[in-house]
């Protein structure tokens, strides 16, 4: 469990007015909100009485080719089927329908490259670009239900490729460009993809990083793969190896394609995308989302939570390789008809004011980012924000990990002028949509994620599903189905079921939380052995499996330890094995340093730069249960100087 500081910090600092204060929204915010307090009260009331009716209303706000027969088919629970029998396509709602409205010539997508170049697409232009690629993909023989892997940096073509795939009914599988070639290979294999779309490379931190060679290596190493097309976006125009009869430049592919393409008619429960995330096993899980439920949940929550107005300029800093990129960079903003901003590079390039510079330049009105990013920028003080006009901002948001009250207050004050609502949204890859979050009209407590959104039912429960008393720590449970819920885990029904049968009768999110006397939720980290490094999920077992593949490692245990910037980082405990002859120098220090270095590199190579290891402790043995299961909890308690009881408080075994 991660100590995220909310309860403890409040106690440690005594009665600190700033962080213990309740921040009320400005009257103007309340007056202008899409969902004012009366609307909110009636939405909550409707949802409590009949959550199906609430979500049906949300679905009716979108366009369907054919209406559903049943709002929620729960006859095969937990295989819930939302809007069963309905026919739709998310791209019709994200793009096609806007072409017939005043949105036609409005900016849909603005992209800025790290060197400062930029590209802009109106809804009409984006629609055409998507149609051209959709036609090209169809001409390549790609059909409904087929998987397309996108190994892409943040580029306009990433959005275009996601939408083009969905438009023809193919299933996109976005692989974060920070993942290794090996991770890419695993995902290509797991999804049996025939087509991959990538780029020559991208700019980050002032330099150009090649991507295509990683794809080449992944494809060369894998004799099992079915990939027969690799589409390459030219980002920097560098020379790359193009394999004849397999590789084709994106520009060449779409050049002669028509501007119109038919939108495939999908069943509400046909898959839209697969996105891999980490769980407690050694292998990433392919989380499946489907058209109808996902579009409904995402559309409704982005509209109410971010209060989208026709004049907004929306910037979510996430990469499309994560669920936040899917729901809050691409689908959510486009369905809402707003302008979405994408940035290619690093927030500190060329200096620590890049984000403030971009807010100023584009007049960003909603800024949605991570606590890690805020902590990183906070270190540079108030000087950089003060150099820019941030007055266009009206809403701030965070996601991915708990935000400490101090960080919250800094963001609210320094970036939000103490005027912007600060929306801390709790959700997951599996939930698809925002679940627990304040709304523009909510009174805010720094560090709390507020209340479940209308239509979402959540509680803090014990292992048996019994609600915990106020302020007691327990497991976060979602107690009713919600529309954007995942519809499966690729090739793994047992793992899907586990989410619903670990705690009887509810969806177990894997998080620890408490609920205070006002019904506000406080998230306290993961209950399972999943690390959250800079808002990115990584399974302890996944990291351990890589470490154990090193010839000198007999056993390894990985735990998450608190980190000032990243929230959490990985620390490994390693038992060296008999092949421990890595270094000629016989002193242990030199051996340890050399081995630590090798292990770091191995993780980078196998999983990518996200899997960063802070330190390694070499030991003779690891604490284990009698049946031989590694007791990571014991290591964690030692590390944090806590009693084992303190961190097993909710473990009632
Ligand atoms: C954590 C990201 C505290 C949580 C959208 C969850 C959070 C995991 C918050 C999902 C938040 C996400 N406060 N913790 N506001 N948002 N988390 O699947 O542990 O990448 O289970 O989805 O991130 O991570 P995922």
Gap from CA of 535 to ligand 1 centroid (Å): 7
Under 8 Å between Cβ of 294 and 267: no
Q: Is the CB of 532 under 6 A from ligand 1?
A: yes
Q: How far apart are CA 614 and CA 603, in angstroms?
A: 12
Is the C-beta atom of 279 inside 6 A of ligand 1? Answer: no
Distance CA 76, CA 487 (A): 12
Q: What's the rounded Cα separation, in Å, for the pair 202 and 164?
A: 22
The Å distance, Cα 397 to ligand 1 centre, comes to 13
Instruction: Determine the Cα–Cα distance for residues 69 and 75; give it in Å rounded to an integer.
Output: 14
pLDDT in tens, 91-102: 999 999 999 999
Ligand 1 lined by 450 (C-beta under 6 Å): no
Ligand 1: which of 280, 537, 539, 568 to mutate, judged by most atoms within 8 Å of the beta carbon?
Answer: 537
* Whole-number Å distance between alpha carbons of 292 and 60: 11
From the CB of 568, is ligand 1 less than 6 Å away? Answer: no
Instruction: Please tell me the predicted confidence (pLDDT) of residue 3.
Output: 30
Rounded distance from Cα 89 to ligand 1 centre (Å): 27
Distance 477 CA to ligand 1 centre (A): 14
Distance 401 CA to ligand 1 centre (A): 5
Taking the centre of ligand 1 as the mean of its atom positions, its distance from the CA of residue 2, in whole angstroms, is 12
Residue-wise over 321-355: b if at least 16 C-beta within 10 A, else e? bbbbbbbbbbbbbbbbbbbbbbbbbebbbeebbbb
pLDDT at residue 584, as a whole number:
52
List the structure tokens of 646. Answer: 């303190």
Q: Which residues of the chain fall short of a pLDDT of 50? A: 1-15, 583, 647-653
Q: Is 641 left (phi over 0), alpha (psi -120 to 50) or beta?
A: left
Atom of ligand 1 nearest to the CA of 525: 19
Ligand 1 centroid to 324 CA: how many Å?
Answer: 10
Do 366 and 359 meet the contact criterion of CB atoms below 8 Å apart? no
pLDDT of residue 585: 55
Among protein residues, the one with the nearest Cα to ligand 1's atom 8 is 428
The verdict on pTM exceeding 0.75 is: yes
CB 216 within 8 A of CB 241: yes
User: CA angle 55-83-89, nearest 5°?
Assistant: 105
């Amino acid at each position: 469990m991660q100590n995220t500081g909310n309860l403890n910090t409040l106690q440690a600092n005594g009665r600190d007015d700033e962080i213990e204060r309740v921040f009320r929204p400005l009257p103007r915010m309340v007056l202008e909100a899409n969902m004012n307090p009366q609307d909110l009260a009636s939405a909550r009331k409707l949802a409590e009485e009949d959550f199906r009716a609430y979500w049906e209303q949300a679905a009716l706000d979108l366009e369907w080719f054919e209406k559903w027969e049943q709002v929620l088919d729960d006859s095969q629970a937990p295989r819930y089927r939302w809007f069963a029998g309905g026919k739709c396509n998310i791209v019709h709602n994200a793009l096609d329908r806007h072409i017939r409205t005043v949105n036609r010539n409005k900016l849909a997508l603005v992209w800025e490259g790290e060197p400062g170049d930029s590209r802009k697409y109106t809804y009409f232009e984006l629609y055409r670009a998507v149609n051209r690629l959709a036609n090209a993909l169809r001409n390549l023989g790609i059909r409904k239900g087929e998987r397309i892997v996108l190994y892409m940096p943040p580029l306009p073509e990433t959005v275009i490729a996601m939408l083009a795939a969905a438009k023809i009914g193919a299933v996109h599988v976005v692989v974060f460009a920070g993942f290794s070639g090996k991770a890419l290979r695993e995902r290509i294999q797991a999804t049996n993809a025939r087509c991959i779309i990538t780029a020559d490379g991208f700019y980050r931190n002032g330099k150009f990083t090649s991507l295509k060679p990683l794809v080449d290596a992944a494809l060369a190493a894998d004799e099992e793969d079915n990939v027969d097309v690799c589409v390459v976006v030219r980002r920097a125009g560098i020379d790359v190896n193009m394999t004849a009869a397999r590789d084709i430049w994106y520009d060449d592919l779409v050049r002669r394609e028509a501007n119109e393409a038919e939108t495939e008619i999908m069943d509400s429960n046909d898959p839209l995308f697969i996105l891999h995330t980490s769980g407690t096993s050694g292998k990433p899980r392919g989380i499946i989302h489907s058209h109808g439920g996902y579009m409904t949940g995402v559309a409704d929550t982005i509209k109410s939570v971010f209060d989208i107005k026709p004049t907004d300029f929306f910037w979510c800093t996430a990469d499309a390789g994560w669920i936040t990129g899917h729901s809050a960079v691409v689908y959510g903003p486009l369905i809402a008809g707003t302008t979405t901003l994408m940035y290619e590079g690093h927030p500190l390039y060329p200096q620590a004011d890049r984000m403030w510079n971009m807010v100023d330049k584009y007049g960003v009105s909603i800024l949605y980012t991570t606590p890690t990013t805020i902590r990183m920028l906070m270190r540079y003080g108030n000087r950089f924000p003060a150099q820019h006009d941030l007055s266009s901002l009206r809403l701030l948001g965070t996601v991915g990990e708990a935000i400490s009250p101090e960080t919250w207050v800094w963001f609210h004050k320094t970036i939000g002028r103490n005027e912007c609502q600060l929306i801390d949204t709790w959700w997951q890859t599996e939930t698809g949509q925002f679940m627990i979050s304040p709304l523009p009209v909510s009174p805010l407590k720094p560090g709390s994620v507020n209340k479940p959104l209308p239509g979402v039912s959540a509680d803090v429960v014990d292992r048996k599903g019994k609600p915990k008393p106020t302020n007691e720590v327990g497991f976060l449970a979602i107690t009713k189905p919600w529309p954007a819920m995942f519809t499966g885990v690729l090739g793994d029904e047992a793992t899907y079921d586990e989410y619903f049968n670990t705690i009887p009768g509810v969806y177990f999110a894997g998080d620890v939380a408490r609920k205070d006397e006002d019904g506000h939720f406080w998230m306290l980290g993961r209950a399972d052995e999943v690390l959250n490094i800079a808002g990115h999920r990584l399974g302890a077992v996944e990291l351990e499996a890589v470490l154990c593949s090193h010839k000198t490692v007999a056993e390894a245990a990985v735990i998450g330890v608190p980190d000032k910037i990243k929230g959490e980082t990985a620390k490994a405990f390693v038992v060296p094995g008999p092949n421990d002859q890595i270094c000629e120098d016989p002193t242990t220090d030199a051996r340890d340093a050399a081995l630590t270095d090798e292990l770091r590199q191995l993780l980078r190579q196998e999983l990518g730069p996200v899997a960063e290891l802070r330190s390694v402790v070499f030991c003779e043995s690891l604490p284990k249960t009698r049946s031989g299961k590694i007791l990571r909890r014991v290591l964690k308690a030692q590390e944090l100087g806590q009693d084992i009881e303190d961190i097993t408080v909710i473990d009632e075994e």
